[in-house]
Amino acid sequence: MSNSQSWLLLEYTDDLPERLYRLGENPNPYRLFDETELELYAEQSPLLISTHENPSVAADFLAQPNDWMGLKLESSQPLQVVLQHLRHILFVSFEGERKGVLRYTNPRTASYFYPSLDSSELVTWLGPICSLSWFGATWRESAESQACWFSQENLRAEQWQAEAKPAPLALGKGQTAALQSQQTEKFLFHWWQKQSRLSFDQAFAYLQEGMNSGFLSADSLNTYLDIRTTYRGIATPDMLPPGSDETRLSHLETSLKGNATDKESHA
């Protein structure tokens, strides 16, 4: 990569500025939210700093990755070109007319989002970025203590040219599914952490079972998971009766309790 420069794009935390100025040689941070629709929130913006000008921060980012939330990126393009692209991909459309902000700077989101891109999509989203890396994990990987370094390469970065008015970006089916999986696994992870009787895979199977049965609210799914965990190994009814979630969950619990009693009496 000719004339490649390396940068850290760090998620905002309350102590981030102080840490950068204490550890960095020349922080000179660029705020990602500046000159965007998020400028009102610029004080909480992710910060972009040069690794060349801040070798101590760069070394600590690699040596103590759990202490830093963010991405490491390389590009041979000018800083302003890189910044323009990073700001552009903040804003996405999905499900037709809906718009949102993509928190691609968060290593958790990155662990779902970037692996969902195919080769042509990767060129679009990385643009002038030659190489992207981060330390993180999906929620499932966190449950299995499998955090690791991820990396993505963009072989067409040096040929990339910025458009005067870049077209708005839309999430494809793969990215939408990946980000939905992130939310589903996050919900399950927080429930799963409070118990010790199930593997994450078994808990996920119960969650899918509950969602397929029509339970979609957080409260109902929490209750469903609690009931299924209490009566592990007991066959569920083929169908649950119509009615409110509370009524259907009560029927499920009564049915499983009865099947458990029958199983014990024939043991």
pLDDT tens track for 2-36: 578 999 999 999 999 999 999 999 999 999 999 99
pLDDT greater than 70 at residue 262: no
Spell out the domain ranges in the chain. 5-171, 195-265
Per-residue buried b or exposed e for 81-111, using 16+ beta carbons within 10 Å of the residue's own CB: bbbbbbbbbbebebeeeeeeebebbbbbbbb
Residues 6+ apart with CB under 8 A from 125: 89, 114, 117, 169
pLDDT tens track for 202-213: 999 999 999 999
For range 260-264, the mean pLDDT: 61
pTM of the model: 0.90
CA distance 23 to 34: 24
Provide the strand spans (E) within 116-193: 131-136, 148-153, 169-170
Identify the pLDDT of residue 213: 92
